[in-house]
């Protein structure tokens, strides 16, 4: 048995004991996870510093604080989320108990990416635990130090049989993918997303794919360009541009291009000083492979700001590219680095046409004071999320489903959406062995008269309060008695 097979077998065996199901156990595990983030902040931050040059404050702000919030929410709400959810009934089922019962799926495989390794790996785990599942956790091997810390810390705090960590690279992930899971939750690029889906299809395993792509940013010429550029610069250069929902490129009227460049430049100086290389809040490219890839993307474009770099340190300065052509290299793939191309575009309609020519993005940004423009953009495009006049912050709202559409992914999570995504929503209808006469309308021999009654009982749904339900029940009992007496017997 391979190490991966063993981990999955152990997780399944642990799941079959039933211990992940009681709400108290789920709560206990989530509290342990919460304790890990309070007690081990230092070792977590140190690894993040080594992997991405994230500062201790940056690690808390962009990674662990959100997780603490998600754990708190799950602790507060898990009982409510896991409880039966009564639903509307039709007249035929009025006297029955009809509800949705969320139940755990079984063993979930969580495959994380490297750019926000804690956020994208542990957030699905919180959902998996809250929903009563077992989960095999596969951190990205690309963030070398963080993967090691995750592997050593998680078993110290949470049930190591129910939630094992499997480290390794592509061969190990592929070996995991050969095993049978009840759900696969993958975060990473769209090309590998297809590999994941193909492997999942062999076992008919459902998947959540949290992918990426080019998230456009339209800046209207009548907006406050200074504020817009400040927010765009923050969204772009945080984590050195290695953010799945970073604004990938700017579309704007040619008349404001120079102003946009000047304002982004000013924000870069405000945030990261004149020398971002020595600024503790400016990150690094994850490795030399990605450094080379990003540098090559700049080749056929004009640099307006930045451009300096140091391969030995995986440093690329915050960079703006001007008058970028749609055919330029930087426009052929998700940048995932600190390059901000500006594509001059003559109108809102042209911008919409440009966006719709590409794949459906994970996020779409529009900067304008005009609601009509926001609505037009919303109505005539599609994307995982839409934000007006800001970047990234929709990620932090746990009452919004986070996920992509089309090439940017499928399924969603955060807050209750994580719970639902990793639960089976089981339909339950509990009937009594009484009032058999009412069922005659569906039993053969079928007649037009019975069909008429069936239409009346089935096509009318009811959503009354308790008192209304009781009153209607009384009326229906009388109707049913009359029907049975006069027509069906
Ligand atoms: P990555 O290289 O870390 O890969 C992610 C995982 O896939 C890793 O665990 C790795 O082991 C596995 N993997 C890689 N190649 C594989 C293969 N051939 N077969 C099986 N498994 C394989 O991460 P990445 O893909 O470079 O991550 C960056 C991408 O992720 C970007 O496109 C970004 O937009 C996207 N992303 C999306 C979200 C989101 O929430 N939607 C969040 C973060 C990153």
Indicate whether 44 and 117 sit together in one domain: yes
* 332-346: average pLDDT: 98
| Residues whose CB falls within 8 Å of the CB of residue 436, separated by 6 or more in sequence, listed in order | none
* 196 and 287 fall within a common domain: no
Same domain, 176 and 207: yes
- Retrieve residue 362's tokens: 């994970």
pLDDT at 489 over 60: no
Q: Are residues 332 and 384 in the same domain?
A: yes
Please, what's the b/e burial string for 469-487 (b: 16 or more CB within 10 A of its CB; e: otherwise)?
eeeeeeebeebbeebbeee
459 pLDDT band, cuts 50/70/90, is confident
Return the SS3 of 165: strand
Do residue 306 and residue 201 come from a single domain?
no
State whether the beta carbon of 192 lies less than 6 angstroms from ligand 1: yes
Q: Is 140 in the pocket of ligand 1 (CB under 6 A)?
A: yes
**Does residue 26 have a pLDDT over 90?**
yes
The answer to whether residue 225 is domain-embedded is yes
Burial of 365 (0-12, 13-18, 19+ CB in 10 A): buried
Span 365-377, average pLDDT? 98
Q: Which helix (H) or strand (E) holds 35?
A: helix 23-39
Is 220 contained in some domain? Answer: yes
Tell me: do 353 and 439 sit in the same domain. no
* Cβ 413 under 6 angstroms from ligand 1: no
Is 429 within the bounds of a domain? Answer: no
| R_g of the chain, CA atoms, integer Å | 27
> Is the residue at 430 inside a domain?
no
Residues 49 and 95 in one domain: yes
**One domain, residues 197 and 263:** no
Say if 179 falls within a structural domain.
Answer: yes
CATH number, domain of 250, equals 3.40.309.10
Note whether 64 and 187 are same-domain residues: yes
Number of Cα atoms under 13 Å in the Cβ half of residue 132: 22
Closest CA to 196 of 131, 126, 110: 110
CA of residue 113 to ligand 1 center, whole Å = 5
**Which CATH number goes with the domain that contains 195?**
3.40.605.10
Non-local (6+) Cβ contacts of 287 within 8 A are: 142, 314
**What span, in angstroms and rounded, lies between the C-alpha atoms of 477 and 447?**
22
- Per residue in 208-250, pLDDT (tens digit) is 999 999 999 999 999 999 999 999 999 999 999 999 999 999 9
| Cβ-count burial 66-97 (b if 16+ within 10 Å, e if not) | bbeebbebbbeebeebbeeeeeebebbbbbee
107 shares a domain with 38: yes
Co-location of 393 and 444 in the same domain = no
By residue range, what is the domain housing residue 126? 3-211+415-424
Residues catalogued as catalytic? 210, 244
For residue 345, pLDDT over 70 is answered with: yes
449 and 326 both lie in a single domain: no
Domains contained in the chain, number? 3
- The Å distance, Cα 244 to ligand 1 centre, comes to 10
Residue whose CA lies nearest to ligand 1 atom number 3: 113
Q: How far is the CA of 192 from the centre of ligand 1 (A)?
A: 7
Is the CB of 362 inside a 6 Å radius of any atom of ligand 1? yes
Residue 487, φ and ψ in degrees, nearest 5: -120, -40
| Residue whose structure tokens are 């342990």 | 32
pTM (2 d.p.): 0.94
What would the mean pLDDT of 78-83 be, rounded to a whole number?
98
Whether residue 96 is contained in a domain is answered as yes
Instruction: Report which of 267, 297, 301 is spatially closest to residue 282, judged by C-alpha positions.
Output: 267
- Mean pLDDT for the chain overall: 95
């Amino acid at each position: 048995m391979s190490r991966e097979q063993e981990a999955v077998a152990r997780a399944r065996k642990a799941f079959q004991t039933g211990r992940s199901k009681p709400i108290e156990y789920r709560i206990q595990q989530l509290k342990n996870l919460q304790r890990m983030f309070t007690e081990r902040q230092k070792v977590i931050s140190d690894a993040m510093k080594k992997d991405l040059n994230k500062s201790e404050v940056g690690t808390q702000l962009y990674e662990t604080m959100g997780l603490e919030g998600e754990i708190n929410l799950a602790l507060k709400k898990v009982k409510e989320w896991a409880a039966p959810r009564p639903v509307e009934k039709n007249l035929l089922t009025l006297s029955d108990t009809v509800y949705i019962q969320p139940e755990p799926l079984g063993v979930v495989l969580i495959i994380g990416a490297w750019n926000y390794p804690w956020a994208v790996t542990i957030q699905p785990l919180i959902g998996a635990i809250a929903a009563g599942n077992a989960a095999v956790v596969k951190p990205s091997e690309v963030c070398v130090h963080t993967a090691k810390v995750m592997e050593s810390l998680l078993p110290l705090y949470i049930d190591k049989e129910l939630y094992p960590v499997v480290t390794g690279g592509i061969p190990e992930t592929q070996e995991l993918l050969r095993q049978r899971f009840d759900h696969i939750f993958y975060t990473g690029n769209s090309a590998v997303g297809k590999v994941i889906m193909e492997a999942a299809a062999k076992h008919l395993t459902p998947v959540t794919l949290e992918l990426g792509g080019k998230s456009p940013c339209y800046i209207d010429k009548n907006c406050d360009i200074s504020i817009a550029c400040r927010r765009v610069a923050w969204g772009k250069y945080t984590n050195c541009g290695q953010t799945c929902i970073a604004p990938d490129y700017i579309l704007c009227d040619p008349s404001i291009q120079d102003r946009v460049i000047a304002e982004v430049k000013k924000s870069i100086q405000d945030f990261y000083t004149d020398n971002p290389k020595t600024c503790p809040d400016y990150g690094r490219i994850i490795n030399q492979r990605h450094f080379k890839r990003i540098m090559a993307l700049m080749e056929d474009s004009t640099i307006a700001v930045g451009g300096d770099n140091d391969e030995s340190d995986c440093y690329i300065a915050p960079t703006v590219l001007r008058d970028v052509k749609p055919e330029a290299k930087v426009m052929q793939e998700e940048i995932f680095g600190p390059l901000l191309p500006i594509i001059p575009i003559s109108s809102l309609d042209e911008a919409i046409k440009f966006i719709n020519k590409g794949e459906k993005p994970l996020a779409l940004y529009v900067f304008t004071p005009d609601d009509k423009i926001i609505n037009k953009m919303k109505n005539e495009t599609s994307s995982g999320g839409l934000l007006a006049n800001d970047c990234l912050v929709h990620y932090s709202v746990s009452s919004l489903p986070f996920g992509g559409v089309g090439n940017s992914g499928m399924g969603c999570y955060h807050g209750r959406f994580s719970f639902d995504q990793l639960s089976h929503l089981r339909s339950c209808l509990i009937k009594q062995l009484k009032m058999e006469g009412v069922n005659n309308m569906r039993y053969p021999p079928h007649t037009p008269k019975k069909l008429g009654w069936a239409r009346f009982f089935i096509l009318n749904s009811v959503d009354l309060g308790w008192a209304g339900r009781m009153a209607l029940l009384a009326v229906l009992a009388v109707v049913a008695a009359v029907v049975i007496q006069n027509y069906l017997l």
